[in-house]
Structure 1
Amino acid sequence: MADSKNQSEHVVAHEDGWAVKAEGADQPTKIYENKQDAINRAKEIAQNKGTSAIIHKQDGTIQNHYSYSE
């Protein structure tokens, strides 16, 4: 299994809006009502960790992928 420092951040649909969730995590890091707020936070976390932010559509398919790895 990958080191937790190298796991991507995902923005996924949640019953209360949009969740930022680390890859492999059981629980979301945070839930936002607004998708753009969730995207901004996921990108910020990914930049800090040098990983990726993967944005999903409502149906679960990938909408965007932002990579911040070296």
Structure 2
Amino acid sequence: IADRHALNAERILVALPAERDCTAMRSSAQLTWRLLLASHEKEQLQFDENEKSRIADLVEKTRHADLAPATQ
């Protein structure tokens, strides 16, 4: 996730249109960066939540498998 977002951020920031002065350019880049970072954080949190659920399911399945009677 981080690598993809970093490459995307680089591509987008480099493509920003020129501004009238450095202060305006800095403001444009900072706003764009904040939006990109928010997108990354949202995706990362969703991934983390999905992984948390997936791991909890695996733990539960393992627990049930450990408690199941052995069959011969």
Task: Give the TM-score taking structure 1 as reference length.
Answer: 0.37
Structure having the larger proportion of residues in strand: 1
Larger Rg: 2
TM-score (norm 2): 0.36
